[in-house]
Amino acid sequence: MRIGLGEDIHRLVPNRDLFLGGVKIPFENGLLGHSDADCVLHAVMDAILGALAKGDIGVYFPPNDPAYDGADSKLLLKEVVAIMKKEGYRIGNIDVLVTAEAPKLNPYRDAIQTSIAGLLETKKENVGLQLMTNEGLDALGHGEAIAAKAIVLLEECE
């Protein structure tokens, strides 16, 4: 078994679509980034790569590489899942924590869990999702950004 931790934050800005966990969420602002800026999937990817001691997503998908301009993070995660499988591991379970003052994400909990489970080729029961606010404190609490953390346990495939 191997354990890994991932973390990400992106700034919320107007005129961008908001993607969290591979789900498009209706909101007046979206996350700014080189790819679609899905901080949830980025934290998930870094947790898996960290568990494999394979660095982080910056190694595989450099932010200055135009190939990843507006990239769909779901496709990037599929590449990371392929690396995990090639190394002989599968998801044991993963716990994901999202900090967003707005929008309220509870209505999307099921969709986000289902999306992450599908991308990770695991059961929804293996995907924990904690939805937090920052209690109005700091940049997250002022709605200037959304952040995510993920911790993953990988099991060796027989």
74 touching Mg ion, by CB under 5 A: no
Antiparallel, parallel or unpaired: β 89-99 and 145-156: antiparallel
38 touching Mg ion, by CB under 5 A: no
8 touching Mg ion, by CB under 5 A: yes
Please give the biggest Cα pair distance in the chain.
47
C-beta closer to Mg ion: residue 8 or 101: 8
42 touching Mg ion, by CB under 5 A: yes
Which range, of 6-14, 15-23, 101-109, 112-120, touches Mg ion by CB under 5 A? Answer: 6-14
Which range, of 7-15, 18-26, 59-67, 115-123, touches Mg ion by CB under 5 A? Answer: 7-15
C-beta closer to Mg ion: residue 117 or 150: 150
149 touching Mg ion, by CB under 5 A: no
CB of 106 to Mg ion, least distance (A): 23
Alpha-carbon torsion, ordered 145, 21, 92, 9, to 10 deg: -20
Interface of this chain with Mg ion, residues 78 to 137, rule: CB under 5 A:
none
Residues of the shown chain interacting with Mg ion in the complex, contacts defined by CB under 5 A: 8, 42
